[in-house]
Structure 1
């Protein structure tokens, strides 16, 4: 389990993942050696999975995000595996989520504009295998987008 020092480390790391171990230790009021050992333990335990760069896709010219709810043809035994394998190959698909219920999957798709989205939808999405139904929801605004966990 995590103690207060581990939680402090995680809060600081989430706030600024580029911190050096020495700076992180200073902010957490512990020694650099203690901080390093705790980071190593949390990485080995799978609590810290890694660090990544978060790129603003708007800055790269993508202005449209669409959430596609996909229902698959459930009469096909490999429908899920074949669909997800093919959907992973579409570069504009940022995220694939699976669900229980009427909707099987949700794809988050980005495009430069509506013309680009229409091209992706017709040429890349509708050609994916085993689709029984698609519902598109266009993102208007992101009300909350928090990646930091309450530790």
Structure 2
């Protein structure tokens, strides 16, 4: 585990809220100069604590009004390569995340669609036809709240 001080943690919290902030703006929030803030951020990147930045899009403004979480159990684990399944499911543009999980299902997917009819089309024509797909459980997202991460 990497040792972080209070300033590192404050920087990470601020970046988690808005990764596009400048080093100067961040420095003012944590009482550091811009160069000192920049050096700390670069150190955190070098240590691998900051693995990258992510763009967050508003799916509804882009016309995707429905998000669904799918639990997928592979029917024939021995006959289907997990790599083949992952490669195929990652090629579906409506699939936002693919998580290999332990438990009732083998995979958990986050799928977006324009509406329920569009989701049904994606499910029937793209997901259910993937190699090895067995049981599928769908949970429609009703609302989503931002929960603070491990440093919050």
Task: Name the residue aligned to 2:17.
Answer: 15
Show structure 1 runs of 4+ deviating over 3 A: none
Q: Name the SS for the 1:132 alignment partner.
A: strand
Q: Extract unaligned runs of 5+ from structure 2.
A: none
* Equivalent in the alignment of 1:50: 52
The separation in 1 between residues aligned to 2:7 and 2:132, in whole angstroms, is 49
Q: Say which SS state the counterpart of residue 40 (structure 1) adopts.
A: helix
Q: TM-score, structure 2 length as denominator?
A: 0.89
SS at match of 1:116: helix
Question: For residue 151 of structure 2, what is the aligned residue in structure 1?
Answer: 150
Normalising by the residue count of structure 1, what TM-score does the alignment of the two structures yield? Answer: 0.90
State the SS of the aligned residue for 1:66.
strand
Is the alpha carbon distance of 1:77 and 1:63 closer, same or farther for their aligned partners in structure 2, counting shifts above 3 Å? closer
The CA RMSD over aligned residues, in Å, is: 1.6
Alignment size in residue pairs: 149
State how far apart, in whole Å, the 2-side matches of 1:60 and 1:30 are: 38
- Cα distance change, pair 60–147 in 1 and its aligned pair in 2 (3 A): farther
1:105 Cα offset (Å) = 0.4
Secondary structure of the structure 2 residue equivalent to 1:56: coil
